[in-house]
Structure 1
């Protein structure tokens, strides 16, 4: 088995972002398919509650959220770089915009009735209803943009991407960086999963040409892995030693405290565990599960909340 295990499902846009990055860096990785909707018992045995897709596993270390996964893969294989020095700051800013504003807009557009019919063609009605209920629960009551408003906003965003591509092959230069993979994955869903709606891309041919360049990178040659094998890997591994991590306290919560970590705006299921690291960029919890053993679950600071468990 590879050292890198990606828990994902084929139609996940955020998973496509990471699959392409794995291909770009030519990394060996193993693929574990997880359910699209809850329950996800094998995944949450590793994460302790976090349920969003994808999750990266390296032994007994579990990495949540693609922002953190990108940093981990950059450390694992620094070349070719996702964060070139000359554009490091702007790459992160564009990535955050793409993973939030662009993604939300694109998916509101994609899931209008014609798109829904294409995504769920041939699926039983109860399966569609279960998916809708699952995603409604993930939004925790937050309003969703209408498809009409989404179409107008999406067109504006596509024009901005086209402007960035003027005179160059990728968004920030002549080589792809993390911003390209982040901006690509919502558009990938439009093109690949709801092609009946993909005509919206035709007004920005620069974007379509760029998309073809990104798609051509591919996913490499992943191995296949069953979720029970991944759990066995976690049980038989030891989490990374964190003694040298610099503690940055922003909450008045000491290391060793029992805490809850949750996303701050979507998919709010918390993970509880012992806070064993809080660095400038990430949190780490130690937790023990009867199926996964003792693991370290890692989250980025940005986009997540930290709270002490009440006694």
Structure 2
């Protein structure tokens, strides 16, 4: 490690909780930058170029977007304890993807029905609650959102299936947590800790609460606060690492689009928060894309995205 791990997040963000726990699992110290939960986010966009979901990870002049990619980065920084046990490498990644998408959206549609939303924003001014709901509505363009009754039915079924797993082991796939545990946990953490009025859904599956308590006990590791302005100054004073020598170890070019390296491109999330990031394509490997972009405040940065869940297009 030649630079600090800087996590841009906010306290009630479920996906941020996923990464905070992974940092705790690996006992990695980190810098904490709080970002706004809703737009505008000028300091975020200065670093990412458009991507605005929380969290993202900064290491000097390199910006890593999406928690799936951040987990890969943290695994490279500190391989043990592993997130990807060798005998489970495929299944735990597939399970984590399901948990980060299907399970998460069912949980949040359940969590933020009127009773849950009222508790989530009980201490916030009414205009903030309205702004949050409008912001998330804009981020869900072209997404199908489950209605609360359908989300409740789906979540009950998913909880029974997860309970079957953790009744057999301390964690989903054995005696130690893997990436699937952290991905499964965070949407349910929101239910239990952010909108506990909705937590009666766990009454039928007490083994899930025991599993969640084991994960919660891991903690978040040591963190120190950092302002967003200081994070931008760090980026401006750092050279991004060349493709292949950063914290994403695969570097071989994989061309599935007919777009050569050096092209001007955009990378956009497939479904949620579909603001594009534009830049020069400097890496397109089997696992990720990397864009070089310049910002008046942050200077030259490389912004990295996973392939899965993101769309690459030639700019213009």
Which residue number corresponds to residue 79 of structure 1? 80
Matched, 1:246 2:257: no
Q: Is the 8 A contact 2:50 2:277 kept in 1?
A: yes
Query: What do residues 157-186 of structure 1 show as CA deviations (whole Å, max 9, x unaligned)?
Result: 001101111221000110000000000000
- d(CA) in 2 for partners of 1:109, 1:166: 24
Kindly provide the CA deviation profile for residues 34-83 of structure 1, in whole angstroms up to 9, marking residues without a partner as x.
Answer: 00001111011000000000000000000000000000000000000000
- In 2, distance between residues paired with 1:243 and 1:299? 14
Find the counterpart in structure 2 of residue 233 from structure 1: 234
SS in 1 for 2:69: helix
What is the 5 A alignment of 1:141-156? 141-156=142-157
Deviation (angstroms), 1:309:
1.0
User: Does the alignment pair 1:165 with 2:171?
Assistant: no
Match of residue 280, structure 2, among 274, 298, 308: 274
How far the C-alpha of 1:281 sits from its partner, in A, is 0.3
- Give, in whole Å, the separation in 1 of the partners of 2:315 and 2:218: 44
Query: How far apart in 2 are the matches of 1:84 and 1:194?
Result: 33
* DSSP 3-state at the match of 2:199: helix
Aligned-pair distance for 1:197?
Answer: 0.8
Query: In 2, are the aligned partners of 1:2 and 1:29 still within 8 Å (CA)?
Result: no
Q: Tell me the distance in 2 between the aligned counterparts of 1:179 and 1:285.
A: 28
Task: State the aligned residue count.
Answer: 310
Tell me the SS of whatever aligns to 1:136: helix
2:302 corresponds to which of 287, 291, 296: 296
Distance in 2, matches of 1:290 and 1:304, equals 26
8 Å CA contact retained: 1:2, 1:30: no
**3-state SS of the aligned residue for 1:39?**
coil
- Whether contact under 8 Å (1:2, 1:28) holds in the other structure is no
> Comparing 141-150 with 254-263, which one deviates more in the overlay?
141-150
Provide TM-score, normalisation by structure 1.
Answer: 0.98
| Contact 1:235–1:293 (Cα < 8 Å) also in 2 | yes
Is 1:106–1:187's contact at 8 Å kept on the other side of the alignment? yes
Q: Which moved more, 1:56-65 or 1:118-127?
A: 118-127
1:145 aligned counterpart, secondary structure: coil
Please state whether the residue corresponding to 1:6 is helix, strand or coil.
Answer: strand
TM-score, normalised to structure 2's length? 0.96
Q: Structure 1 residue 257: deviation in Å?
A: 0.4
| Cα deviation 1:130-162 (Å, max 9, x = unaligned) | 111100000014332111111111000001101
- What are structure 2's unaligned runs of at least 5 residues? 246-250
Asked whether the 8 Å contact 2:5–2:31 carries over to 1, the reply is yes
Asked if residue 255 in structure 1 is aligned to residue 261 in structure 2, the reply is yes
The residue aligned with 2:202 is 201
Runs of at least 5 residues in structure 1 that lack an aligned partner in the other structure? none
Cα deviation, residue 2, structure 1: 6.4
Provide the C-alpha distance between the structure 1 equivalents of 2:123 and 2:9, rounded to a whole number of angstroms: 22
Q: 1: distance between equivalents of 2:15 and 2:139?
A: 15
Q: Deviations over 1:94-139 (max 9, x none)?
A: 1000000000000000011110110000322211111111000000
Q: What is the rounded CA distance, in whole Å, between the counterparts of 1:122 and 1:295 in structure 2?
A: 38
Alignment of 1:53-202 (within 5 A): 53-202=54-203
Report deviation, 1:266. Answer: 0.7
